[in-house]
Copies of this chain bind each other. A is one copy, B any other.
């Protein structure tokens, strides 16, 4: 019986150790800062050797992105689930909004949502974390471009539009993340509103002449 996938005590302990390391690390990072936290402190809190830590995570920074990875695949899944009649950019927009609505379900198995939001804010405000974060975003964009191309039945290496569309979208997402991290309201609602209002500004920003002043309003910055 249950030939499918039996956890097994070994697997369970591994998962437990990994989650404990993530929780301890994020708690330490968000309270005393990323660079002020040593790997020794993290492993001491979980009571494992330093060597074990580096068997679970390739480096100190990787543990900071463990939950981010969950959130990202949550978002990609949302994009995949969009009805195919939606134009690409509308699908992307609705997917972000939807995945922010349900982010708790995807994350709270490991850490409370509140800690995840604090971690996000930490990443945005810590150069040593922001850098790898942006690199991760770039590979996420490549994945998204392939999803979009598939949706539209196009070859991502022949037709430039999927990658360009995702690049435009990604540019605005990074902007909103930055402004969210630099602001004062670290709630999911603030993120949603910022996202929506800045995506509304894509058209106006592309206009030839900004001085006609059309299409403004709705986006309040900082």
Interface residues in chain A, defined as those with a beta carbon under 8 Å from any beta carbon in chain B? 87-89, 127, 130-132, 134-135, 138, 152, 154, 157-165, 167-172, 174-175, 178-179, 197-198, 201-202, 204-211, 216, 219, 221-222
With contact pairs A134-B138, A160-B197, A204-B161 given, residues A88 and B178 touching in the complex (Cβ less than 8 Å): no
Residues of B within 8 A of A204 (CB): 161, 164
Prevailing SS type, chain A contact patch = helix
Q: What are 8 of the A-B contact pairs (CB < 8 Å)?
A: A89-B206, A131-B132, A158-B221, A159-B221, A160-B201, A160-B221, A161-B205, A163-B179
Known: A134-B134, A158-B221. A88 touches B152 (CB 8 A): no
Contact pick for A160, options B162, B165, B207, B219, CB 8 Å: B219
In the complex this chain forms, how many copies of it are found?
A: 2
The answer to whether B205 and A168 have CB atoms under 8 Å apart is yes
CB-CB under 8 A for A159 and B87, given A131-B134, A164-B205, A206-B206: no
Bound-state CA distance A163–B222 (Å) is: 12
Q: Pick the contact of A167 from B138, B174, B221, B222 — CB < 8 Å?
A: B174
* A172/B161 contact (C-beta < 8 A), A152-B210, A206-B206 known: no
